[in-house]
Amino acid sequence: MLARLTAKAIFAVAAIAMAFFGVGLLGKALATALVAALGPAGGYALAGAVLLVPPLIWAVIRLLSRPRRRSAAAQSNSELTRVLLAAVAKETPWVAIVGAGLAGAAKMFLNRNKSSK
């Protein structure tokens, strides 16, 4: 199991490195091609803009399309849960509380992509 995990990590690092250097080489090639037409400063500026603008637009779209904040009722439920857990913590062994917390975290992790109906 550890060998599989290590192999996956090595492949992930190799893929990231290939993408990083691939984009760098594409940028260098684009800039070199544009230097003849626009001069060194113009070629490098245009090549940088071509490689910078799409991720920047993606980040802005991602930032603007965040889900709305939780309603006041959902926040009050969260506060009620905190109060109840505090009351339970006074009278229950810590192992049970940690186990409940881990179970809640696991439930949130497993249900993170499911739509609430």
Question: What are the pLDDT digits (tens) for 4-54?
Answer: 888 888 988 988 888 888 888 888 888 888 888 889 888 888 888 888 888
Q: Between the CA of residue 42 and those of 14, 24, 32, 52, 59, what are the distances in Å?
A: 33, 18, 11, 15, 25
Secondary element (H or E) of residue 103: helix 94-110
Question: What are the pLDDT digits (tens) for 68-104?
Answer: 666 655 555 667 777 777 776 666 666 666 767 777 7
Q: Between the CA of residue 110 and those of 1, 10, 46, 55, what are the distances in Å?
A: 22, 26, 44, 29
Question: If you write DSSP's letter for every residue of 12-24 in order, what string do you get?
Answer: HHHHHHHHHHHHH
Q: For 29, phi and psi rounded to 5 degrees?
A: -65, -40
Please tell me the pTM assigned to this model.
0.43
Residue 47: is it exposed, middle or buried by C-beta count within 10 angstroms (0-12/13-18/19+)? Answer: buried
Residue 30: closest CA among 41, 19, 46, 18: 46
In this structure, which amino acid lies at residue 72?
A
pLDDT attached to residue 80: 73
The ranges assigned to domains in the chain are 1-66, 71-112
pLDDT attached to residue 77: 61
pLDDT attached to residue 62: 86
